[in-house]
C-alpha cells in the first residue's frame, strides 16, 4: 500500500525540499515491468502528499547519464508520446470509479507532461486525449539525482478524497532505451513491456 500524507499547506509544485516531504512514507520503484530486479542506477523513490487543493507526487530518481528527452516538447500543453522518453508516471483510480477506468499522469526531466483519462474495454484501450486535469510539473537535477514533482488539482473528475479513503494506484518510471527501461512499482508481468494492467494496481490510502 502507498500512503498520501495530508498537508495543511498547499505547496507550490517547485517546492522540492518542502519539509513535509520528509514526513511522507517513501515508496521504492526497483523492479522492471516483468518483476525482475532493476539495476540500482534505475531505482527511484516516490512520496505523495495531498492538500485541500491538490494531490502532489514527488519522484527522486537516480539519473547517472543524460536523460532521454523529447526535444520538441511544449511545456505549456500536453506532450503526446512522452512515454517514449525518460518519464515518471502515476495511474490513479479515484474511489467510486470502476477498476477499468483511471487517469494517467506523466512528467519528464525537462518539465514536459501529459494527462489522459483511460478506459480499458474488451476490445482494447480507449484514451481521452482531450482530458484536461490542470496538472503542473517541475523538475530539478543535481549531480546524478533527478527530482520530478507533479501537482494534480482536485476537480469534478478527480474529486478531493476524505481522510481514510483508498484509491487504486500504480507508479512507474521509464529510463534509458530498450525493454529494460520500463520500471513498475506493481509489475504487470506482461510478455512485452506494458503498463495498462489495472488488475495489478495497488492501494493509495489518504492519511
Q: What is the pLDDT of residue 38?
A: 96
CB neighbours (10 Å) of residue 40? 9
* Ranges of the chain whose pLDDT falls below 70: none
The continuous run of DSSP H or E covering 23 comes out as helix 20-23
Span between the terminal Cα atoms of the chain, in Å: 12
Q: What is the pLDDT of residue 59?
A: 98
What's the mean pLDDT when you consider all of the chain? 95
For residue range 134-159, list pLDDT tens digits in order.
Answer: 999 999 999 899 999 999 999 999 99
Strand 2-6 with 202-206, pairing: parallel
Q: What is the pLDDT of residue 97?
A: 93
> How many residues are listed for the chain in this entry?
207
User: Can you give the CATH number for the domain in which 163 is found?
Assistant: 2.60.40.1190
Total number of domains in the chain? 1
pTM: 0.96
- Host domain of residue 163: 2-206
Rounded Cα distance, 130 and 47, in Å: 28
Q: Which CA distances in Å does 65 have to 42, 127, 175?
A: 10, 32, 10
Amino acid at each position: 500500500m502507498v500512503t498520501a500524507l495530508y498537508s495543511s499547506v498547499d505547496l507550490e509544485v517547485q517546492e522540492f525540499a518542502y519539509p513535509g516531504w520528509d514526513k511522507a512514507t517513501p515508496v521504492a520503484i526497483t523492479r522492471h515491468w516483468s518483476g525482475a530486479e532493476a539495476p540500482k542506477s534505475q531505482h527511484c523513490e516516490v512520496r505523495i502528499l495531498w492538500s485541500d487543493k491538490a494531490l502532489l507526487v514527488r519522484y527522486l530518481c537516480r539519473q547517472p547519464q543524460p536523460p532521454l528527452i523529447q526535444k520538441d516538447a511544449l511545456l505549456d500543453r500536453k506532450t503526446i508520446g512522452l512515454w517514449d522518453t525518460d518519464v515518471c508516471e502515476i495511474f490513479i483510480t479515484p474511489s467510486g470509479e470502476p477498476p477499468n477506468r483511471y487517469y494517467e499522469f506523466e512528467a519528464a526531466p525537462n518539465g514536459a507532461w501529459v494527462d489522459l483519462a483511460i478506459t480499458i474495454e474488451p476490445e482494447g484501450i480507449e484514451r481521452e486525449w482531450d482530458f484536461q486535469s490542470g496538472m503542473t510539473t517541475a523538475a530539478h537535477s543535481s549531480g546524478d539525482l533527478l527530482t520530478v514533482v507533479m501537482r494534480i488539482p482536485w476537480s469534478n473528475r478527480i474529486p478531493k478524497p476524505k481522510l481514510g479513503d483508498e484509491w487504486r494506484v500504480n507508479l512507474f518510471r521509464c529510463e534509458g532505451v530498450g525493454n529494460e527501461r520500463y520500471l513498475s512499482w506493481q509489475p504487470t508481468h506482461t510478455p512485452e513491456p506494458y503498463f495498462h494492467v489495472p488488475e495489478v494496481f495497488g492501494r493509495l490510502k489518504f492519511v
